[in-house]
Amino acid sequence: MAAAAAPVFVVPRMKLGSQGLDVSAQGLGCMVYGEGTPEPDMIALLHHAVAAGVTLLDTSDIYGPHTNEILIGKALRGGVRDKVELATKFGITLADGKWGIRGDPAYVRAACEGSLARLGVDCIDLYYQHRMDTSTPVEITMVEIKKLVEEGKVKYVGLSEASASTIRRAHAVHPITAVQLDWSLWSRDVEEEIIPTCRELGIGIVAYSPLGKGFLSRGAKMVDTLPHDDFRKSLPRFQPENMEKNAAIFERVSEMAARKGCTASQLALAWVHHKGSDVCPIPGTTKIQNFDQNVRALSVKLTPDEMAELESYAAIDAVQGDRTNSNFLNTWKDSETPPLSSWKST
């Protein structure tokens, strides 16, 4: 008698926000695709993810820049486009080696048209403002995005790394479907004000870096394997003096994972999933085996006591070092846009 086939794991679906967007309960962050990774391998991984039921694909025009969207556009050919929820972003610029942020109407429209062309699609399912432009009121940016929605070029609107007040102001102009933010077991500042604001307004939450930029997968030893130009090497949290102390967090998470019969990364992802039915984490990876491991986090169940235990390991005052460089673009703490009354069109 032939052995019974292993049961197929079914990725559940969820409503992201209150505007009608239906997505896989776990998405796929695609930022690193195209940066020194073989294109055929990344396309194969994307196809594998979609076949497995992970259909929310997250990219941005600044990844590359542009090359990431081009790669994903290639992966969407052959009928794949209709099977995915495609998210991309605008707002971060890079010219002559200098970073910038723009949210003025002309730029918003040009950025959208550029993304549509590179992705090879007629409409973007979820279009985020990647960072807030501190020279352009968010209301002005949202008016232009609203026009793109009315023209059928964008279905749903999102914000990334926005302050609570900016979220409210944007939502008053056009409904915000999702807010993307850095949320993981060791990055929990957003729980104070941003998460409650999203829930009050019926806005879905997309957690990027849910594995702590790799720390909650491999611990302190990951730093030794990073390429010399990897941006994580410059982050305060990954500096030797901080990582030495943070290593204890990973050790405790790993010990609990062993007790539960899962990996540390699965446990960390399960923690994010258990923070609410309105939360969709988007871990990224370039390896199919890591993807398969990550998606299994959806089957890890945690009790309230286990959630509290995990959170005690990575209390806010226990994590050493800031999550990002203070001078790197804008963070949710200082990304307020100017008042509408200050706007003068040029």
Annotated active-site positions, please? 63
Q: Is 281 helix (H, G, I), strand (E, B) or coil?
A: strand
Angle between helices 105-119 and 138-150 (to 10 degrees): 40
**How buried is residue 84: exposed, middle or buried, by Cβ count under 10 Å (0-12/13-18/19+)?**
buried
**Residue 58 to residue 72: CA distance in whole angstroms:** 10
Strand 28-29 relative to strand 21-24, pairing: unpaired
**Tell me, what amino acid is at 34?**
G
Residue with tokens 């706007």: 343
Residue 196: which residues within 8 A CB-CB, separation 6 or more? none
**Residue 202 to residue 175: CA distance in whole angstroms:** 9
Alpha helices in 27-75 (DSSP H): 39-52, 67-75
Q: 97-134 b/e with 16+ CB inside 10 Å = b? A: eeeebbbbeebbbebbeebbebbebebbbbbbbbbbbe
